[in-house]
Amino acid sequence: MTNATVEPDEATRLRNKVVDELCADGTISSPEIEAVMRRVPRHEFTPGARLEKAYDTYAAVITKTDEHGMQLSSVSAPQIQAMMLEQARLLPGMKVLEIGSGGLNAAYLAELVGQDGEVVTVDIDSIVTGRARRLLDEHGYDQVRVVTADAAEPIPDLGAVDVVLVTVGAWDIPPAWISQLKQGGRLVVPLRMRGLTRSVAFTQVTGEQGDYLESESARICGFVAMQGSAAHREELLLINGTPEIGLKFDDGLPADPHRLDNAVTHPRYELWTGVTVGLQELLDTLQMTMAISLPGFCTMAVDEDLDTGLVAPTNKRFTLAAVEDDTFGYLVTRRTEDNKHVEYGVHALGPNAKQLVYKVADVLHDWEGNRRGGPSPVIRVYPANTSDDQIKTDRVIDKVHSRISLSWPSA
């Protein structure tokens, strides 16, 4: 469908290299998606980016930031785009709503649903939709409808769609996304749960108590956050009253955060757990085990310019952590002697540091014995007014418009 003329040989080579890598690592499994990603000239939808950057298999191209450098818009990495297209299970003739525009992904969608299908792409930013409209027209995708709107609200004159594909990070599931789906339709969305983001492919399920969404797959990902009425920011708790140590909570601060005021005046308690992982091992189930098992789960970041050594995380920008009353703890790692693995440890500070360290260590051992290498938890989305007795789950996360449950599959 693209009407691009002669491309540089290097662009074609790099594009094929990206697709070859994604086929080899299993991200691409369908010949239709492979063909589309080989055909559409990705670099022409990332104006201003060097070819090598446009065709970096695992990196996004940032297209807009605010005055503070916060990312507002991007073209997702090829690996993420291919992963979500596979999750969407698109077929010729389908009608698709894309939330979060840019042009390139809409071009992929138009190719996959064909002339008998329909693609509507929506973004809240008129600059983004203007660029998407121009790029789509330049490459022969004038049949794609581009809309500037807050996609958390119903899209006028849309009708029912087969697939809603969200390409911005979402904290909640607005009712409009579900109401615009055909019965049995699919919602693919980068959903943030307790500070962890997963690209989740949902299908509609009809139960005794009504309809809900249930996950078919969930993959680790990262996305620019939604703007508009569905925007949501994590809450930051500064330990010791300075920006040196920050704990980030996705669903509200602890009931009495001031109980942590004196935590750093206590000696740091440390424990190595004996739990080791390979350097390339996927740790999605470890993260979710902690998020489900620890009520005070959060993430920790340390300001490198203010770091006094009170805490010693392996990664100062993002560390899995937990709070319990007047004490906080976090994970650390160290290389093993063979230099092919890392061992997990736990640090904690506060009056009850030893108890929290062993509690977190127990969660790690539970993951090692029962969850490691297994399936992700099943994620279900219920209306916000659903009662507890209608939800069988290991953890419920209450949002504004929905209640999200996380449950481990039966053995």
- Alpha carbons 266 and 149: distance in angstroms, whole number: 51
Residue type at 49? A
CB 15 within 8 A of CB 55: yes
Does residue 76 carry a catalytic annotation? Answer: yes
3-class DSSP assignment, residue 401: coil
CB-CB contact of 35 with 28 (8 Å): no
154-169 CB burial, b ≥16 within 10 A, e <16 = ebeebeebbbbbbbbb
Which pair of tokens denotes residue 245? 């140590």
The residues with which 78 forms a beta bridge, in sequence order, are: none
Active-site residue among 30, 73, 74, 76?
Answer: 76
Among candidate residues 283, 280, 391, the one with its CA nearest the CA of residue 341 = 280
Report how far residue 390's alpha carbon sits from residue 386's, in angstroms, rounded to the nearest whole number: 7
Contact predicate 304/389, CB 8 Å:
no
How far apart are the C-alpha atoms of 49 and 59, rounded to whole Å? 12
Neighbour-count burial of 357, counting CB atoms closer than 10 A to its CB (0-12 exposed, 13-18 middle, 19+ buried): buried
Contact of 405 with 393, CB cutoff 8 Å: yes
Active-site residue set: 76
